[in-house]
Structure 1
Amino acid sequence: MATDDGASTTFDSDEVKEMYCEECEKHGDGYTPAVAFCVDCVEYKCVTCQKYHKRQSKTHKIQDSDSMPQDFYFEKCSTHPQQLIKFYCSECSKEACQECKDTEHDKCSDVNHLPTLASGIQKSDDLKDLQQNLDRLSEEIKDTEKLLKAKSEVVDKQEEKATEICKEHADKLIETYIQQHQDLIDDFDKKMEETIARLKKERLELVQVLSEKERMFKNKITKAETVMKDEVVGTNTEFKVIKSEHLNLVGNLKVLTADLEQAQKLGQNSKLFIKLKSTKQLCENLHRNIEQIQQVSIQHYKFKTLNIQPTEQALESVTRLFTFKNVSAIERRVVFNFDINSHIDFISSSLVLSEQTLLTLDWNKCSLAIHKLGISYANCMNDTKFDSSPCDITKVSDYKVAVTFPNEKMIRMITFSEDMKGLDITDIPVNGNCTGIAYRNPYLVVSYWNPASVKILSMSGEVVKTFDKDDNGKKLFIEPWGLIVSPDNTMTYVSDVDKHTVTCLTFDGKVKAVYKDDQLRTPRQLAVDEYGSVYVCGLDSENIHQLSSDLTKVKILVDKSHGLDKPMSVAYCPNTKRLFVGMRNKIKVFHVSLE
């Protein structure tokens, strides 16, 4: 602040501190040096203002220039720029001007004059404790940096190794594939000697076709490499986030520590008091962050190449070149995409036939609906009616499905045309009320509620195996309903709506595991993803459970909070990572990703 008539200017960094009369400033009378301080009004006064103040407020306690607070805090209030910050509210942990005190802190019980409150801070236990804490924290930061470096090296090494294996295998496949074509060309060149004129044109056309196929194959290999690299880099995200947060907190601590040291060095006790409070809070945050770093575990994983036959047909048909498997179970999370509402009354089962096509069975309407899928919508393309209620559906090939009709004791093989408009139906009678169904080439796996069993059928309906009792002769099921086969075709998962269980069977009928949980009631349809995780639809528990391949509970993936209301079916699309949950009058579509 500056005084009139050439008086000295005073800032926080000046050696000479001089307070001005606040009464004169309020009335626009310039800046006059203060010679006294009214404890009751919490205001500095000049000689003249103090003289009149004594007359008007005879009971107020006055401190003269020798005894009044000398540690002046000249920061202005951000809310009221014309007001000085004079108070500190310990209840709100905030500084305040006179106007803030009268309005925002009028109900606070611990608002004190800042210079008075900060008078003993240089020798306070809080300052000593903070300085000691900063020293300890400095050592912890050094140890943490070593821990970060060690864990970062593990992450970097895994990513580097995965990338190296991916590139090496991709180069080998491309080389093998090109060599296959070169062998074809060499063989063709030998025949050219006999019919050179005719074969020149054919050779040129063949080279062009093979070149285009090579280009497409290289693109597919490159895309597969990119997808796998993205998956590798995406691992250990939690650790990387905590690491980034740590670096930010350490940077902020350095700035606050410098401000703290400067305020202490210059004897700016009020500013030191404010910085002390801010630094203590940051120290607490950094302590919590360090604990997270110490506790977070690195996600280890195995990266392998698939064993693919080095033939042209095998290389062209392959869709996945590598396997990327975490050592521990991987939790999923879902994000709601959209609802499918059209022509739905009572969904008993659903099936993802392709990325663009979803099939649903409606028990009440005795129908099969074909839905065309978009990014954020679904349209019903066709609706086929039946004489009785369909129960479950499974994919046999790109345009062929099998559907169970328990009341008719019938399985219907339905073949669609390529435009999904025409269809051909073949009936397969079965001995029992069939419910769930899954296709395991070249067999059908079918569950029955009467008699309660699971049977392996040939494609003509002949019973190959029957599973209804365990090794001890006890009944396996009471009312088996949903049924799904693992991606590797080694396991069959069966839901029992009466026992509230999911049972895992080998293809020979041996029980590998049984899942039962208080939070799963009346399990219906099942789905399985490309990693082997099993999704169970709980009708009465109104949720979707995610299980590992050995039926260990991973988490409840979807529940009432996601809008579920008596869910009866669940289907999964591995290409789009979508989960379709069917209810009485709609289907909810979720996007599934790794945690």
Structure 2
Amino acid sequence: MAEARIDNQTFKCLICLQECNIPRQLPCFHTFCTGCLDTYINSEYVTEDNRTYFPCPVCESPCYPQNKDAPVSSWAGSFLRNQLFASSTYKETESGQTFCHGCLADDEENIASFWCKTCSEALCQPCRVAHRRSKLLSTHKVIAIDEVSKTDIRMPVSIDNTCPRHTGKTIEVYCHDHNALCCVLCVTLSHRRCTNVSSLEDTTKMFSLDVIECELGKMKDESKTIVEEDENKLTTLEDDYQKMTRNVAMMIKKAKDKLDDLHKRFQTGLDVTYRRHRESLHERLRTNRIFQANIENTNQLMRVVKEKSPDVGTFIVTEQSKTQLLSHVRRLQQRTGDKHNTFELKMIYDDVLEKVINVMTTVGRLEVSSSLSSSSQDSLTSIRQIIDTLQATSSVTSFSESTSSSDMVSDVGHVAVPSSSVAPRIDVWTGSLSLVKSVHKGAIGGSMTPWLTGGVFIEGEGLLTTDYKNRKLLLFDDSYEYIRHYGVANRPIDITRGFQPNELLITQIDRSVIRCTFRDGVLTTVDSISSYPNQWGIDTLGDKILIGTESSVEILTSDFKQVSSIPKRGYNIYVPASPKGLFYHRDKDVIVCRSHDGKEVFRHMCKGIKELRGIVVDQDGNVYVCGMKSGDIHLISHDGSKDRILLPRMFGIARPYAILHHPTRQEIIVTSCRENVAFKVYKFCDQ
């Protein structure tokens, strides 16, 4: 089967990275081959889960088929065919005959014999009959397809202007406050408080494609740089592997029979190390290739739409493309931002290799130094800056992020959490800690390792934690069983109770604090307040708000007006308040206690602690802290007069990060810094 292409370019499937065959577009605007999507869905779907959705292969947005009760094998075909992708090519048989465009839209391949000049469509005999019998189409000029130039035969371009949130509604309005494409129901239900809303026609008059095309061109170049460097680094790693294999083989060859076993052990270790880093680099390269393909698709899409579509259609496609690019870049940063692409294999030979064969136990020591190249870092930074530019240029966020707070609700039914009972009090200075539960990342779901940096207990609901890594809030019941998650726009850091019933305050990495409510399993954002750069922990003390930044502790009023700023040293800090009207923070590896007005009460340094991170206070004012590098948990009295090591080490958590305390039970929760064990729960018991 031959295919004609525009400028010899085709759109690529973001799974197989080949030409997209029968393209299907998901609600997040990413497009895949129907066959690739079907294979992915069947491999992703787990019957025991009884799920009615699957995550997008690229951005992991939940995607629901049109009929949730339909067999899983039919889900891929239920999504709309991306006619814009299909419009760049036409299919013909090996003998040069053209397929009917109407039949291709239904995934059928029938030879076309006619061409409608009015519709610019190729028609087979049955479609020609249906075309002639239609009152609206009967006057169209239809000729034999042999009379048409091959360059004029293209699938008709159609812009999907349907609202992804409201069935049967079309996109008619643009909200400039949220950069959102909206239907009438979107405006009524989710943007009723917005003041800057206009029709698509009015917005299109102010729209310019030049800046978008320029920025997309830059992004394409940067993505190409990343992919080319990854390919070069993979080649270098392969060369290093081959070279080292030959060198080691030569050394082994010089040693006699006794070295055979040592050679085998070394080669096994080398192969394992090589495969691990090769797989890591392959995965990084594939991710960047997918992103490169997505950029190429978007650039190609802009050319197709610019030539064939009216202004409104061009605007819609452009905004949709920017949305999926934003989600893709975020995903790209999560998957490749901290993954190295430079691995240097070095062989440190044993000094006695050629001298004392009989006493040798190893051929040498394999060392791997890895790093992320500066050029890749620069390119990824440039891509992020380009996305920011696009977002500032009349851009649109994803629908899940651009809608109002009333839309930020989990689709899973609320599960009530029973109130906790009060257990007999244990003296924390004489009692010991016993492991209650260890929660593995697999029990939470998702492909990314969670990083729980904060949490708050909510009566009748359970434990609500911030998953910094995955931009989620995770809800656990009173037995620490995972219930559901709530997606948020930016990376959430720490969370605390607000001043009103059911009110929560959440710090985010983008210098904002979310004020929201949580009631009956529903999370609703009230507003977002601009806060401080490099902020981390948050808590309330009386009528004041405490925010810990990289260089200070900020004391604010309830409406976020600064009262005072206290300098400190160290990196990210938490600022827990105590029932005794005190609050605590780190100053490097020293715990500082202050009164409500910021005056220093005492300083205390726990012996042996390194890289102090999490801090929490119990009902009696005792302070619990964890050392991320030392891997231990310490207890400090409320007045700083004594301390003890509660946990010198934890099995499964090498780098503890945040620490929480149950409000009624003598239980502490210790989270990890991106490890397989998300968190562990310990309770106090008698010695």
Q: TM-score, normalised by structure 2?
A: 0.35
Bigger CA radius of gyration: 1
TM-score normalised over the length of structure 1 = 0.40
